[in-house]
Structures are given as structure tokens and as C-alpha cells.
Structure 1
Amino acid sequence: MSGSGDDADVDRLVSVLLVVRPDAESDPDVAERLARQLRAELVELDVESTALVTDGASPDGAKGADAVTLGALVMALSASGGAFTALIGTLRDWLSRHSARHRIVMTVDGDTIELERASAEQRQALVDAYVRRHTGGQAG
């Protein structure tokens, strides 16, 4: 047992909003299809829930039911235990297969990061800093 008082973070769930933004030249239905493909990968992670946002429900922070809702996922996961780091790894892998055309916008506690066409090194540095902010210093 530790007397550090950090036990509150162990059970804390964070809500993550992921928005898949396809290339501007893509068909409007591409965002929803890409979000479904990404969700299929994310459900394999150790998370509490992963849900597609439907047209009738805008995610918190969204500005109405627009194209954002067509490619949006809402997840709940533990703030500790590696789930957040695993999520970031899955997003990086997914983008490496799609990065020439698409982006992912991730929002946690009002803090947003947009992952897109960057070199692997640039993406890694950006993601490491973001992970440290949301995991208390643990970067993958």
C-alpha cells in the first residue's frame, strides 16, 4: 500500500472524444466508415466503453450535428494502468496506415490534439507530450 494519496487516480475514468476527419476530397460517408474501422480496432483495447456517435447525438464539445458526428467515437478508459498509452499506440498505428489522407482529433478533459501528416518523429514527440499531460508523466 502506498500512502501517497494517488489512489484516486487509479480508478478515475476519462472520457475521450475521437473524431476522424477524412481528406477534404473524400466522399461524405468516408468519415463514418473510417470511424467504424477505427472502432473495430479500439474495442480490442482494455477500455470501459467505445461507442460511435450517431447523427442524433452530438458529442460533448461538438458544435452541432454536422460532419463531426459522422466520424466521432466516444470512449471511457482508465486514467492509469496503460489503457491511455495503448489507445495512443493504436491511433498511431491506424494513422500510419492512413496518414497520407486522414486525421484524428482527440479531446480529453478539454485538451485537444490533432494527429495528421507529420513525420514519425514529430508525431512521437507530440504524442509523448500529450500522454504525459494525461497520465501523470508516463509516456509510451
Structure 2
Amino acid sequence: MWESASATGRVRDVRLDVAPDPELEPEAAERLLRRLRAELDELDVESVRFAPGAAPPEGAKGADAVTLGAIVVALSAPGGVFTSLIGTVQDWLNRSAARHRVTVTVDGDTIELEAATDAERRALVEAFVRRHSGSGR
């Protein structure tokens, strides 16, 4: 089970590899990724950043969506923040009719979120969240 960062000094990184719909123009994919990053930054997390080498130079137009699509979220709070993070990613995916895919990796454990029925996605996400939020360990 997680303890608070103030008690342990432990910060856990969660990596989100975002593969936007391949039919999107690079500029549209970049806007979507930046919007997801901004939504994640609203959560009670330590930091949200593009993975090293993932963000285009300032002012660049038409970034390659493949290189832009890695976001690292640093968490230091107990499992509730992780649950909120996954919920935010799910909401982001559900708001779009496009075929985006997000791979979430925590401590070497990975889950891939994309088009699935609500029940399938919910069951898969609930099991993943239980493994990484301290409930069920």
C-alpha cells in the first residue's frame, strides 16, 4: 500500500504512451495530446510532463504524433490519485470517436486502453487499479 510522499519521500512515475488515431493530422494529434496533458495536470499529482525527447521544440508545427505521445505523471499520493488518473484517461478516450490508444505502465505492469465495450474496459481497469492503488494487496 502506498504511503504519502511526505512520510516516505517516494514518488511513483506512471508512463502514458498515447497513440492517436493514425488518420489524424499531426497538428490535430498534437493538440489532443496537449489537451490530455493539461487535464492530467489538473489532478492532485506531483508533475505531468512529456517524456524526454517526446515534446516538440517550442513553436514547432506538425510534430510527429508517435514521438510526442509519451507523458509521464509523477504520483506521490495514495491510490485515490491513481484511480483519478485512470478515470481521466478513460474520459479522454470516451469523448472522442477517433481510434486513440493509451498504454499505461506502472512498475513494469502495463494496461492498454482503447476501443472496448464499457463493461470490458471497466473490468480491466478496475483490476489494474486494484493492483496499483493498494486495495486488494
TM range (shorter): 0.7 to 0.9
Structure 1 match to 2:47: 49
Structure 1 stretches of 4+ with a deviation exceeding 4 A read none
What whole-Å deviation, never above 9, does each CA across 1:79-106 have from its counterpart, x for those lacking one?
5151101111111111110254211111
Aligned-partner Cα distance in 2 for 1:56–1:117? 24
Give the Cα separation in 1 of the matches to 2:66 and 2:107. Answer: 18
| Matched residue SS, 1:121 | helix
Please give the per-residue CA displacement for 1:45-104, whole angstroms capped at 9, x wherever unaligned. 0000001235368xxxxxxxx854311111101251511011111111111102542111
Counterpart in 1 of 2:89?
A: 91
Structure 2 counterpart SS, 1:82: helix
> So what's the TM-score if we normalise by structure 1?
0.76
Q: Structure 1 stretches of 5 or more lacking a match?
A: 1-5, 58-65
Structure 2 counterpart of 1:109, from 103, 107, 110:
107
Counterpart in the other structure of 1:10: 3
Query: Partner residue of 1:63?
Result: none
1:34 aligned residue: 32
Task: Return 5+ residue gaps in structure 2 as ranges.
Answer: 5-9, 56-63
Which fold has the larger relative contact order, with Cα–Cα distance below 8 Å and residues 6 or more apart in sequence?
Answer: 2
Q: 1:48 to 1:99 in 2, by over 3 A?
A: farther
Question: CA separation in 1, counterparts of 2:111 and 2:80?
Answer: 19
Aligned to 2:119: 121
Equivalent-residue separation in structure 2 for 1:130 and 1:81 (angstroms): 11
**2:3 counterpart letter in structure 1:** V
Q: Distance in 1 between matches of 2:104 and 2:27?
A: 20
Taking only the aligned residue pairs, the percentage that are identical comes to 60
C-alpha distance in 2 between matches for 1:73 and 1:117: 20
Amino acid at match of 1:70: L
Matched length: 123
